[in-house]
């Protein structure tokens, strides 16, 4: 009774909460700075994007608070239904006029008054599903057929539907989370090596199979080889980083957002941060995400049960991987993947699901041992 009472009286991880709120605040300021000119040009309202984003912030904060109050153990009840709903939603994307195609990919579901990015929900649903399934199969994970085959098969179906959108970046993230959670659950190292060895050639084939993926790879290696087409985005991003110097040009004074940087308020918001706040601003953002990663895994390893450990680790990995893939991409360290920067980029579905994940992490932290 005493131990149970102690778990209920723990306070949420205040450092994780503060890091999240700082990132959200920085994101709101930079979305306004990076989108006002674009919004005026397209909608005759310089505050168009920031007004919508502030609604997403409100919805995200409410979602986070609600999830903080809901005991994470209750998520087991939605683990299997969540995967079924995910598959249905992914299939709906292939129906004309229901799935919305943007930038060469069909990732959004037409809900009438708004669009919904399905993969953002799917990623969280997969973490919950894998955490629950691996917890149930923990005593069978040493055997591939009884322990690993089922989560691998379900994940393969989900990844297959996502790759047809196409969304290669999300597939990479889900595959990485699967390997992480299998490892934490106690899967044999030989099974993990086998899966890794299978994923790598599959990824190479997917890159070589589509010319635009290969073009991204060659643009990453030498963007100046085709500066007007495949290398244009990365070159403009690198110019932003170079223009910012140490302390930046000042908030609102960046020039690259003036129709040079593509999507300055979404995928390339870090480039705007680099130009306007310089090396110092980018470093602060990176440090905040590193602290988020460390606190998230600390919550995972202090969780009172395996389900809590896998759930916290998976959600932390989900946010951290998206962040560092985006950061590395806009800095020219890896090929661009078209992933939003969590908490900072404009985008309702991505933002709300990230805040939902934080709420679950905070709930797990209140029940630490």
What is the mean pLDDT of each successive set of 10 residues along the chain, which is 369 residues long? 47 96 96 91 90 96 96 95 95 88 79 83 96 91 87 94 88 93 92 87 78 73 80 89 92 85 89 95 97 97 95 97 94 85 93 97 89
Strands (E), the chain: 99-102, 105-110, 115-117
CA distance 327 to 337: 10
- Into how many domains does the chain fold? 1
Q: What is the DSSP letter of 11?
A: P
Q: Residues near 208 by Cβ (< 8 Å), separated by ≥ 6?
A: 214
The confidence score (pLDDT) of residue 253 equals 85
The confidence score (pLDDT) of residue 233 equals 87
Global pTM reads 0.92
Domain that holds residue 12: 2-366
CA distance 59 to 44: 25
CA of residue 263 relative to chain centroid, distance: 17
The confidence score (pLDDT) of residue 167 equals 85
Instruction: Record the tokens describing residue 4, joined without a space.
Output: 């149970």
The confidence score (pLDDT) of residue 9 equals 53
Q: Exposure string (b/e) for 247-263, b if CB count within 10 Å is 16 or more?
A: ebbeeeebebbeebbeb
Between strands 105-110 and 115-117, the pairing is antiparallel
Nearest to 137 by CA among 78, 186, 201, 93: 186
CA distance 222 to 231: 8
Q: Residues near 265 by Cβ (< 8 Å), separated by ≥ 6?
A: 30, 31, 34, 35, 38, 49, 272, 345, 346
The confidence score (pLDDT) of residue 55 equals 95
Return the number of other C-beta atoms located less than 10 Å from residue 146's C-beta.
Answer: 12
């Amino acid at each position: 009774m005493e131990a149970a009472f102690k778990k209920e009286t723990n306070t949420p991880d205040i450092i994780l909460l503060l890091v999240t709120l700082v990132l959200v605040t920085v994101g709101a300021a930079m979305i306004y700075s990076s989108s006002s000119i674009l919004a005026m040009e397209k909608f005759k309202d310089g505050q168009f994007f920031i007004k919508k984003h502030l609604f997403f912030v409100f919805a995200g904060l409410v979602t986070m608070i609600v999830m903080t109050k809901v005991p994470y153990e209750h998520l087991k009840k939605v683990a299997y239904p969540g995967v079924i709903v995910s598959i249905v939603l992914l299939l709906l994307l292939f129906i004309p006029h229901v799935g919305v195609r943007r930038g060469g990919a069909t990732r959004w579901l037409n809900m009438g008054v708004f669009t919904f990015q399905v993969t953002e929900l799917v990623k969280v649903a997969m973490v919950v599903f894998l955490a629950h399934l691996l917890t149930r199969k923990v005593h069978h994970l040493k055997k591939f057929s009884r322990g690993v085959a089922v989560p691998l098969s379900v994940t393969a179906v989900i990844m297959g539907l996502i790759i047809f959108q196409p969304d290669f970046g999300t597939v990479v993230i889900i595959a990485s989370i699967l390997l992480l959670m299998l490892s934490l659950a106690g899967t044999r190292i030989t099974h993990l090596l086998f899966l890794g060895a299978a994923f790598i050639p599959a990824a190479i084939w997917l890159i070589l199979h589509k010319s635009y993926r290969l073009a991204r790879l060659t643009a990453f290696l030498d963007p100046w080889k085709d500066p007007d087409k495949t290398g244009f985005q990365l070159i403009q991003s690198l110019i932003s980083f170079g223009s910012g110097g140490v302390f930046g040009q000042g908030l609102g004074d960046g020039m690259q957002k003036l129709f040079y940087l593509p999507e300055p308020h979404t995928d390339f918001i870090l480039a705007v941060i680099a130009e306007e706040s310089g090396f110092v601003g980018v470093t602060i953002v990176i440090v905040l995400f590193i602290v988020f990663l460390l606190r998230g895994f600390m919550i995972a390893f202090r969780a009172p049960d395996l389900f809590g450990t896998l759930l916290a680790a998976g959600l932390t990995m989900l946010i951290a991987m998206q962040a560092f893939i985006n950061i590395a991409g806009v800095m020219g360290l890896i090929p661009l993947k078209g992933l939003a920067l969590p908490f900072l980029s404009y985008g309702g579905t991505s933002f709300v699901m990230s805040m939902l994940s934080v709420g679950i992490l905070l709930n797990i932290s209140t029940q630490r041992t």
